[in-house]
Amino acid sequence: MADVNHAANKKAGLAQLQKNRRKSFWKEQTKGYLFFLPAAVILLMFVFYPIIWTFLVSFREVRPMEMRNTGLFEMPGQFVGLNQYIEIFHNPLFIKAMVNTLYFGTIYIPLTLVSAALLAVLLNQKLKGVNFFRTVIFIPYIISVVSASLIFLFLFNGDRGLINAVLLKFDLTGPNWLAHSLLAMPVIAIMSAWKKVGYFMLIYLAGLQNISHSLYESAKIDGANAFQRFWYITWPLLGRITLVVSVLLMIDTLNVFQEVYVMTGGGPGDSTTTVPFLIFNEAFVYFRMGPASAMSYVLFVVVIIITVLQKRAVDKRLG
Amino acid sequence: MINKLRQYGLVLFLWFVSLIFLVPLYWLFVSSVKSDAEITRFPPTFWPENFHWSNFVEVWSRLNFTQTFMNSIIVSTSTTILIVIFSTMAAYALSKKRIIGRNMILLVLVGTMTVPPTALLLPLYFIITKMGMYDTLISLILPFGVTVFGIFFMKQYMDDVPDELIEAARMDGCGDVRIFLQIIVPLVKPALVTLVLIEFVNNWNSFTMPLVLLQSESKYTLPLRLGLLASENVALPWSQILAANLLTIIPVVVLFLLLQKQFIKGIMEGAVKG
């Protein structure tokens, strides 16, 4: 009898213990989620909902006035399936915007990447004034795109800019840079490179400083010469960073908007109209929500593809 | 000997590179203090004939800079405060609390970092309008009150805080709020400072969101005011536009120069771990 009682007590005790444990488990969960709650609310409302909203609206034709009467959680307009995706790929301006973006990238990406890597290798040495050089090269990064755009707008001004004044010293007549359909985009690319080089240089520097000296020391002992040390130690690491940096540069390229808005307004002609600039115009100048959303999703998908490809490449190199 | 020559050559080269980076800023300064007559001349003078400091005073009143400046300060400061608080709290939950679906949440958060900013303009405009926040400064603060970058940045630091420390505190009867405020926050202070710097500068420089979400001039922030100067064709001499630009740049550059060590360290550490 006593034994049975004891067993029952033990069972009840165990159940109680488990219940307590479960209770404290859920208490832990609740507390954890409470800490995450403010961030979650903001992200759900202003990041996740917008991503879904854009996706749904990209399949709908919305007349400008229809936005007005739509509730916060309603979708405006009529469902039209893939029509708008088909339409934007028949839109010559969209194709032009992609070509322009490519033009920007072919100047901006190599220029920034090579300068950043080169400067990082140079500034990774023990030199007098190394911190001064690093600081000077990094300063443009903290200046806003708008401010930088205004400075370069004036630097490359056709009839009072510094660039043309310097060219004049060499008896050259400079063009009106930003009014020239082939030269406007390179100017924007050069400005972006000027602004961003310092940032990517720091990323390279961080990578270089992560290589421990003992690696070089033991390579030396094993009889590796300077070239071998570079080829087998520095280069693989730089290569990995280069992959990451090149993806970040590609994403930068796909996001060029403010500099175009301030410096050229997409012109001359359509020569500096980029995809984000076109999206902005479609949405806020012509109030065509559907095509703007469809273009946004095409852009989004391209960014995702680039990111995934990069991750694969990095894994492959490391694996 | 050859080594020394190489060294001198290198330093000379770096001076040349530094000049390239400094010339646009030099030109900004020189042009902003020229007279209206001098700035329209070609070829331009490389050093101003006389310094027109009055450009700064004039443009300040013309563009209603006191209010614009205040708007920028209000928006940047409030947003930064929210980001720091909410991102740090979220990072604590994701780093130290074994919440269900943690890996899933982290994965989704990483995914949102690939969304192009322009793709969010239209839906944000729609949502802000429907919530009745259009053309208010709150529309520039609340929706941006947490950044995924901030969450990851803080989480990386917190992952290095040993769990034993938290267990010990729990034994002593500390609740989560006290653990968070009295153990975690002091330990991740350097990261917090860096996050404040980065987010303040980001928000100070923000242009696209104010462009979409603001309408009345009394609400304008500095980059919006400046960005519209070029496209609105306001009849303002270039010297004054550049003076306004210089006034906008000075606060962040001063902030950077004062705290550059922290800044650079933060960005480099973020780069290595990220």
In chain A, % of residues over pLDDT 90: 51
Asked if B103 reaches chain A (Cβ–Cβ under 8 Å), the answer is no
Contacts of A206 (CB under 8 A, 6+ apart): B268, B269, B271, B272
Q: How many residues does chain B have?
A: 274
pLDDT value, residue B234? 65
pLDDT value, residue B254? 94
Average pLDDT over residues B229-257: 87
In chain B, % of residues over pLDDT 70: 97
* pLDDT exceeds 60 at position B19: yes
Contacts of A91 (CB under 8 A, 6+ apart): A291
Write down the number of H helices and E strands in chain A.
15, 2
Average pLDDT over residues A41-62: 93
Are β-strands A60-61 and A78-79 bridged in parallel, bridged antiparallel, or unpaired? antiparallel
* pLDDT exceeds 60 at position A1: no
For residue B6, the chain A residue with the least C-alpha distance is: A127
Closest CA to A151 of A118, A190, A181, A113: A190
Q: What one-character DSSP code corresponds to residue B45?
A: P
Residue A3 pLDDT grade (very low, low, confident, very high; cuts 50, 70, 90): low
Which residue do the tokens 């240089």 mark? Answer: A201
Closest CA to B163 of B96, B231, B241: B96
pLDDT value, residue A5? 67
- Between helix A184-210 and helix B260-273 the angle, nearest 10°, is 80
Closest CA to B117 of B16, B241, B208: B208
Digit-coded pLDDT (tens) for B131-168 = 999 999 999 999 999 999 999 999 988 998 888 888 88
Q: With an 8 Å Cβ cutoff, are A262 and B227 in contact?
A: yes
Partner residue opposite B42 with nearest CB, options A53, A142, A160: A160
Could you give the CA distance from residue A290 to residue A293 in angstroms, rounded to a whole number?
A: 5
Which residue do the tokens 């709150």 mark? Answer: B138
Q: With an 8 Å Cβ cutoff, are A206 and B11 in contact?
A: no
For residue A153, the chain B residue with the least C-alpha distance is: B230
Digit-coded pLDDT (tens) for A264-305 = 988 898 999 999 999 999 999 998 888 999 999 999 999 999
Could you give the CA distance from residue A201 to residue A121 in angstroms, rounded to a whole number?
A: 9
Which of B14, B15, B103, B265 best tests the A interface by mutation, with the highest count of A CBs <10 A?
B14
Q: Please, how many CA atoms are within 13 Å of residue B155, restricted to the half-sphere of its CB?
A: 22
pLDDT value, residue A4? 61
* pLDDT exceeds 90 at position B4: no
Which residue do the tokens 């970092």 mark? Answer: B113
pLDDT value, residue B88? 95
Average pLDDT over residues A27-37: 88
Burial B47-74 (b: 16+ CB within 10 A, else e): ebeeebeebbebbbeebebeebbebbee
pLDDT value, residue B153? 92
Which of A119, A125, A147, A261 best tests the B interface by mutation, with the highest count of B CBs <10 A?
A147
Give B-chain residues touching A33 at CB under 8 angstroms: 93, 99
Could you give the CA distance from residue A67 to residue A65 in angstroms, rounded to a whole number?
A: 5
Cα A188–chain centre separation: 17
Question: pTM for the complete prediction?
Answer: 0.90
Residue B86 pLDDT grade (very low, low, confident, very high; cuts 50, 70, 90): very high
Residue B99 pLDDT grade (very low, low, confident, very high; cuts 50, 70, 90): confident
**Other CB atoms closer than 10 Å to residue B130's CB: what's the count?**
16
Could you give the CA distance from residue A33 to residue B90 in angstroms, rounded to a whole number?
A: 9
Averaging pLDDT over each range in A127-136, A212-221, A236-245, B218-227, which range is the top one?
B218-227
Digit-coded pLDDT (tens) for B161-208 = 888 888 888 888 888 888 899 889 999 998 999 999 999 999 999 999
**Range scoring the smallest mean pLDDT among A32-36, A53-57, A73-77, B83-87:** A73-77
Average pLDDT over residues A241-252: 90
Per the CB < 8 A criterion, the answer to whether B137 and B128 are in contact is: no
* pLDDT exceeds 90 at position B220: yes
B65-271 falls under which CATH superfamily?
Answer: MetI-like (1.10.3720.10)
Average pLDDT over residues A28-44: 91
Could you give the CA distance from residue A312 to residue B43 in angstroms, rounded to a whole number?
A: 53
Digit-coded pLDDT (tens) for A140-165 = 999 999 999 999 999 998 888 889 88
Could you give the CA distance from residue B108 to residue B271 in angstroms, rounded to a whole number?
A: 20
Give B-chain residues touching A45 at CB under 8 angstroms: 127, 143
Give B-chain residues touching A275 at CB under 8 angstroms: 118
Nearest-10 Cα torsion for A94, A96, A102, A107:
-140
Closest CA to B198 of B159, B163, B147: B147
pLDDT value, residue B274? 45
Q: What one-character DSSP code corresponds to residue B43?
A: S
- What are the residue boundaries of the structural domains of chain B, listed by start? 65-271
Q: With an 8 Å Cβ cutoff, are B90 and A150 in contact?
A: no
Q: Which two tokens stand for residue A270?
A: 């359509």
Q: With an 8 Å Cβ cutoff, are A35 and B85 in contact?
A: no
Residue B52 φ/ψ, nearest 5 degrees: -95, 75
Cα B78–chain centre separation: 13
* pLDDT exceeds 50 at position B2: yes
* pLDDT exceeds 60 at position B37: yes
In chain A, % of residues over pLDDT 70: 96
The ipTM estimated for the assembled molecules is 0.91
